[in-house]
Amino acid sequence: MNAERLAAARDLVEHVLERFHEAHRRELPRIVAMARDVEAGGGPAGFAAPFAALAEALEMHMFKEEMRLFPMMEQGGNSLIVQLMDDMQAEHRLHGDEGAHIEALLQAMPTVADAGSSLALLRKAWDKFGADLAEHTQVEDEWLFPMFRR
């Protein structure tokens, strides 16, 4: 990988860390807490569990990127990088499936007229998070990872 491409990859990694990883770590605990509030306020038993499971899975995913994949990228890659990227892309698909499940749970909940209700606030936070997660996955899958595929 030439120096110009490596610099571009490093910039993109920094963007992912600042724009997505930091935001997810800020937003997900709040979203999980909101889901628990909805459950405690009369929502279905276990309603918050998928939110918590996604938060845990995403934290582990980001940790693997930060500790293994991104340092490897910042050094220009090596023979293991394709396998790591394939693993990350498989996890991206799982996160997408988990997000679709959560979206279905939210859609199954009755609409609440009160925009300040726990459920309305959760839906709004989830919509923003879901859009961010989709963009995060797209940046990695369509921009960052292809830089390291031969």
Tens digits of per-residue pLDDT, 92-112? Answer: 999 999 999 999 999 999 876
Residue 16: pLDDT band (50, 70, 90) is very high
- Among all chains, which residue has been given the structure tokens 């995403």? 58
Give the closest residue to 5 by CA, choosing from 78, 88, 73, 80.
Answer: 73
How far apart are the two ends of the chain, measured CA to CA in Å? Answer: 10
66-101: b or e for each residue (b if 16 or more CB lie within 10 Å)? eeebbebbeeebeeebeebbeebeebbeebeebbee
- For residue 110, the model assigns a pLDDT of 85
Q: What is the pTM of this model?
A: 0.92
Residue 115: pLDDT band (50, 70, 90) is low
Helix H segments across 16-80? Answer: 22-40, 49-64, 70-74
Residue 1: pLDDT band (50, 70, 90) is confident
For residue 132 the two structure tokens come to 């961010």
Could you tell me the CA-to-CA distances from 113 to 23, 116, 117 in Å, in that order?
29, 9, 8
133 close to 24: Cβ distance less than 8 angstroms: yes
**DSSP character at residue 109:** S
Q: Mean per-residue pLDDT for 37-61?
A: 96
Give the closest residue to 47 by CA, choosing from 28, 58, 34, 56.
Answer: 34
- For residue 88, the model assigns a pLDDT of 98
